[in-house]
A and B are shown apart, each in its own frame.
Chain A
Amino acid sequence: MANPRLWGLKKSPWVFHVAAASCNNCDIEILDLLTPRWDIERFGIVLVGSPRHADALLVTGVLNRKNLPRVLRVYEQTPKPCLVIGIGTCTCHTHMFESSYNVVGPYDKYLPIDVYIPGCPPKPESMIMGVVKALKRL
């Protein structure tokens, strides 16, 4: 076991949810994961209230000028190693907001994202699958 933290991360990742300029649907679907039909807390995945407690960040939405420094700040506050999971088509590229004056471009210019889960919004099943795939790679 090379890195005990990494080992801990694999068992029950605590996630912090960072909504950049999203349309809220991805966020609602993430909350949906906690409710009875999916109930991911069974697997030890907990949504925490501070990035300092988190093992993984769930980012949604596109980056804009105002929230980019804040998102980077949250990333800096997260203890490393951490997983960054991009949820939704918005994180894969800039979706249909490309031509806007306030959108600063795709995520990979600024943040190292480990998994992209496409879909607008992705179904909860595919979110679970994405997270599981990411954990398997560790």
Chain B
Amino acid sequence: MKKEYSKKILDEISTKFPDVSIKIHAPRRIYIKISREKLFDFAKFLHNEKGFRFSIATGIDTRDGIEIIYHFSHDEAGTYYNIKTLIPKDDLKIKSLATFLPATNWIEREIHELLGVDFVGHPNLIPLLTAETWPADLCPLRRDYADEHKDIKISKKPWEAS
């Protein structure tokens, strides 16, 4: 029934997007590398035409740049398609998926604040999790983040005031 990963889908992907590289880690875990420019169309293809469910996106700070992995789930086959793309550190921009996929709205905001990636075209790119006092250019999941902001300033202790 809905068991093994379907070879048909992978063939379709490689004919439509010839420059992707596909790695099959396990029968249900597939990693696909794609360039930053093609990603938007590819995600649109997976979601709108193939009916994959968007699961989440992961941002990773690596040596060569910020890597973003979009995890799509093909629920009928139980397969995970992980779409990797690399963004160079000197130009942290990528096209936002939130325009056609509302589910990506929050996670793009999160990656924006934790890793500093700019999602072009996102409707509302404001911080999601961190406090209002958190400096906008400080990205805690970056490798160069140092622990200098540990002490928060509190104006007064309430029990001392009265």
Task: Give the interface of A toward B (CB within 8 A).
Answer: 64-66, 68, 72, 75-76, 80, 101-102, 104-105, 110-112
Contact = CB atoms under 8 A, between A and B. Distances in A.
Contacts of B130: 65-66, 102
B79 to A, nearest CB: 32
Given A101-B140, A101-B145, A101-B147, A65 B158 contact: no
Nearest to B160: A112
A68 B154 contact: yes
Of all A-B residue pairs in the complex, the 10 with the closest CB atoms, nearest first, are: A65-B131, A66-B131, A101-B140, A76-B158, A104-B152, A112-B159, A72-B158, A75-B158, A65-B152, A65-B134
B133 interface: yes
Interface string B118-131: 00000000000111
Query: Which size class do B's interface residues fall under?
Result: 10 to 19
A110 B157 contact: yes
22 contacts: A65-B130, A65-B131, A66-B129, A66-B132, A68-B152, A68-B154, A72-B154, A75-B158, A101-B140, A101-B145, A101-B149, A101-B150, A102-B129, A102-B130, A102-B131, A102-B140, A104-B150, A105-B150, A110-B154, A110-B157, A111-B158, A112-B159
Nearest to B162: A80
